[in-house]
Structure 1
Amino acid sequence: MATPDFVLELRKSIGHAPLWLIGVTAVVVRGDEALLVRRADNGNWSNVAGVVDPGEEPADAAAREVLEESGLVAEVDALVGVFASEPLQYANGDHAQYLDVLFLCRWVSGEPHPADGENTAAAWWPLDALPPLPGTHDERLRLALAHAGPALFRRRNSPAESPADSPVDTPA
């Protein structure tokens, strides 16, 4: 994912210090297929994902990222869930953590292609023949495809749970 200009400007002031960012993951479906993009930086297939620009609505960011990364027009149908990523460190030393807003999207028009240089391929994959997906991308895809109700959010160490309990996805 290319670093947005606003993040580059922030980094001039804060250096490599941890930065909390809002991200979106867009699971785009067309019938019994899902859109996946092959990342240029590591060669992995993944869902479309990106950073929400300042003042941008997350659903608009999801549709924008789909168009920018794959050339497809997609309609955001549902907020599936909101999750905090694990803290990470990039190769350049920058530290970040993301609040990931997961959306289920429906294909409207276009044929997938790597539209912005962040990906080397974009393609429809049959839901019963998906490639391996890195990190949380497999979980996000499964959650979006199974979505049939209120949005989910992950709870850790809520008053009803002990710290040893595993995370629970709870309807909003």
Structure 2
Amino acid sequence: MPIPPFVAELRALVGTTELWLPAVTAVVRRDTGPQHEILLTLRADNGQWAPVTGILDPGEEPALGAAREALEETGVVVTVDRLASVSASPQVTHGNGDLGVYLDLTFDCTWVSGEARVADDENVDVRWWPADALPPMSDWLRQRIDDVLAGETAARFRQPPS
């Protein structure tokens, strides 16, 4: 579902005004022998590769939201292993002119089951990529993957540039 109903209701009141919304990124990994693979989606709205992302529903527990987004977008079941980083996205202008900035919670997730596939209308392709050969994507999305691959046990909190 591209626009959650609660966001559509807000948009009816505020138009395209910038909204600050809570979101999750699920960086889904699986091991294929000695190397990791990362599950990426090719977004229908901008034609760019990205990890699984989505807006949290009101009152939704963030880790459950990350697992839900992975299933809804790619058809795979995951475990949510840890919070890897907390950051804010740059301002995003959606195709319809809506503006948004997203408070993102990035989770390190492990594939459990399911064949990766396009499972919604938000994406046009879903594919496993070797962690050392990811396709081009925006720097701020790539940073989320790097935060997971760093393997740290404590979450990274992005600091404003000095």
TM-score exceeds 0.5: yes
SS in 1 for 2:10: helix
**1:155 partner SS:** coil
The percentage of aligned residue pairs carrying the same residue is 51
TM-fit CA distance, 1:42: 2.1
Q: Aligned pair 1:125/2:124, yes or no?
A: no
> What displacement does 1:132 show?
1.0
Q: Is 1:52 paired with 2:56? A: yes
**Structure 1 stretch displaced more, 12-21 or 107-116:** 12-21
Task: Give the corresponding residue for 2:101.
Answer: 97
The question of 1:149 aligning with 2:153 is answered yes
CA distance in 1, matches of 2:84, 2:93: 27
Report the CA distance between 1:103 and its aligned residue. Answer: 0.4
User: 1:161 — aligned with what?
Assistant: none
TM-score in terms of structure 1 length: 0.87
| More displaced 10-residue stretch of structure 1: 61-70 or 13-22 | 13-22
Deviation at 1:14, TM superposition (A): 1.4
Q: CA deviation at 1:147?
A: 2.6
Cα deviation for residue 125 of structure 1 reads 0.9
SS at match of 2:39: strand
Partner of 1:159: none
Q: 2:29 aligned with 1:8, yes or no?
A: no
Aligned to 1:168: none
In 2, Cα distance between equivalents of 1:54 and 1:76: 20
Residue 115 (structure 1) aligns with: 119
Q: Structure 2: how far apart are the matches of 1:33 and 1:91?
A: 30
Q: SS of 1:49's equivalent?
A: strand
Deviations 1:30-51 (A, max 9, x none): 0111101111122211100000
CA shift for structure 1 position 109: 0.3
Superposed CA RMSD in Å reads: 1.4
| Offset at residue 89 of structure 1 (A) | 2.6
Q: Partners in 1 of 2:158 and 2:124 — Cα distance?
A: 32
Q: Deviations over 1:46-84 (max 9, x none)?
A: 100000000101111100000000000001000011101
SS in 2 for 1:41: coil
Aligned to 1:19: 19
Q: Distance in 1 between matches of 2:47 and 2:147?
A: 23
Task: State the shift of 1:135 in Å.
Answer: 4.0
Structure number, greater radius of gyration: 1
- Whichever residue aligns with residue 17 of structure 1, its letter is T
